[in-house]
Amino acid sequence: MPICSSALMCHAPVTIPTVGLDRSKQCGKTTDSMMTAARTLMKYNPDHIILVSPHAPRLPDKFGVINQRITGNFASFGKPGIKINLPWDKVMIEELEDTAPHSFESLPKVDLDHGSMVPLWFLQQAGWDGKTTIISLPAMEPMNYVEDAADALHDLLRKDPQSFALVASGDLSHCLRPDSPGGFHPQAEEFDQNFTQALHQGDFQKAIQISEDLRMGAGEDVVDSFCFVALASQLSNHNAKFLSYEAPFGVGYGISILNQFEPDD
């Protein structure tokens, strides 16, 4: 199977110690889990990583693909010296657009977003320096488009001799406390409990099907990217392992290995 592993990773810059500094100590469990997730993906020696970010620039009704070298820095977080610099696979992106033009389209030159850079920083720390593809979500309701796009990606990867690791970037509720980015909503904690319970159980369909009302109350940005990666992996939960959840700043961070395949599995 060309998808050798996949993971859900958060995208809070504060989890990077050299960015968050003293505040990073309050989310140490998440930082450790992000590093564990990155090392787990590297253990399977992928040729290529595909990452889905909810903060990458969005096209109206297609999944966007960054068709350029994957570069960026943390200047907007006061750390311009912390950089991401990775190659991309122009040929694979063109094949994806050719085989599924209704689902995918190259993005114009864009600045790399923190939804991409934070997981990629941890992956670089774990030794990653290979071909990387960043996929963005549609601006219109992603759930209306995700099944066709995920199936198209799965079919393309299945025929490719390379091995792939998939990463869903996302944070859970943004409304857990009055000082949360989205303010307080009484259903935010319920969303996080339901979503993390589904991950614990390896029940990815349950995670995808959390009600729209609960999602809206939570102010989450995790379900759509998670859904894409889970469906592109055909809901595989092989050797899945939930790593951690914490919310020290009023935003939920959940980290999980979604599947991992040994070469002979």
Q: What is the pLDDT of residues 122-162, one digit of tens each?
A: 999 999 999 999 999 999 988 889 999 999 999 999 999 89
Could you tell me if residue 157 is inside a domain?
Answer: yes
* Domain presence at residue 45: yes
Instruction: Give pLDDT, residue 16.
Output: 98
Is the Cβ–Cβ distance between 85 and 44 less than 8 Å?
no
What gap in Å lies between CA 98 and CA 108, rounded to an integer?
A: 17
**Is 29 part of a structural domain of the chain?**
yes
Residue 265 lies in a domain: no
CA distance 71 to 88: 10
| Stated length of the chain | 265
Residue-number span of the structural domain to which 167 is assigned: 3-260
pLDDT value for 109: 82
CATH number, residue 222 = 3.40.830.10
Give the residue-averaged pLDDT of 61-84: 96
- Identify the helix (H) or strand (E) that includes residue 84: strand 79-86
What is the DSSP secondary-structure string of 168-198? Answer: EE----S-SSTTSTT---TTHHHHHHHHHHH
| % of the chain exceeding 90 in pLDDT | 93
In a 13 Å sphere around the CA of 31, the CA atoms on its Cβ side amount to 18
Please report whether residue 172 resides in a domain: yes
pLDDT above 70 for 1: no
89 domain-assigned: yes
Domain count, the chain: 1
For the full predicted model, state whether its pTM sits above 0.75.
yes
Per-residue pLDDT at 264: 54
Residue whose tokens read 């960026």: 72
Looking at residue 252, its pLDDT comes to: 98
177-199 residue pLDDT tens: 999 999 999 999 999 999 999 99
Query: pLDDT tens digits for 201-242?
Result: 999 999 999 999 999 999 999 999 999 999 999 999 999 999
Q: Is residue 34 part of a domain?
A: yes
